[in-house]
Amino acid sequence: MSAHPLILTLDQHGSPNRWVSWQHACFYYAKDLVAWAAGEHSFVIIGGISRLTGMRSEIHANSIIAIRGKPLTGKSLHQVPPLSNRELFHRDRQICAYCGDLLPGNRLTRDHVLPVSQGGRDIWMNVVAACKSCNQRKSGRTPQQAGMELLYAPYVPNKAEYLILCNRHILADQMDFLARHVPSQSRVKAA
């Protein structure tokens, strides 16, 4: 992990947006684009020495910052996050959807509930984590055709859930903030 964790950015109304590096956060502070800041963690980034004053510049950055600009409403806030195996396996808590085994990511595969060969699509609502053995046993069949029970249903993570899924080094104050935006039925919240 780097010396500085990722900074959680929000729109100016408090909706989660994305993770940025401390360098990107410094840009927002330097351009006066930070509408407000929150979080228990703050960081001091030391810059170069000013020719005029002979003093080093400093930027104090918080772990959660709201960026000035258009609020994230409608489409952008509810946009479907990109699907990747890493986030899929985290969404499903590294548990095979068929046998229930808890496995490391390198022992899991992406299974299409309705197989692509039968018209299924590669989307969040049609994929689950499956161990290699179960995925091979199911093959190009639906769970019903293969006589295999699906232990949990796939779902599309919201923006806050996705931000949790794609950052493994979330500070406690950032997690507390994001957890307030996660639906109560989410598998991510319990993780």
Q: Is residue 29 part of a domain?
A: yes
Q: Please tell me the predicted confidence (pLDDT) of residue 146.
A: 97
The answer for residues whose C-beta is within 8 angstroms of residue 69's C-beta and 6 or more apart is: 11, 12, 33
pLDDT score for 190: 46
Average pLDDT of the segment spanning 99-113:
96
**Do 42 and 89 lie in a common domain?**
no
Q: What is the pLDDT of residue 72?
A: 57
Write out pLDDT tens, residues 44-93: 888 888 888 888 888 888 999 999 986 655 555 557 888 999 999 999 99
In a domain, 186, yes or no: no
In this structure, the answer to whether residues 54 and 100 fall within a common structural domain is no
* Residue pLDDT, tens place only, 5-21: 899 999 988 889 899 99
* Claim to verify: residue 72 and residue 164 sit in the same structural domain: yes
134, 148 contact by CB (below 8 A)? yes
Q: Is the per-residue pLDDT at 189 higher than 90?
A: no
pLDDT at 112 over 90: yes
Q: How many domains does the chain have?
A: 2
Q: Which domain holds residue 66?
A: 7-77+160-179
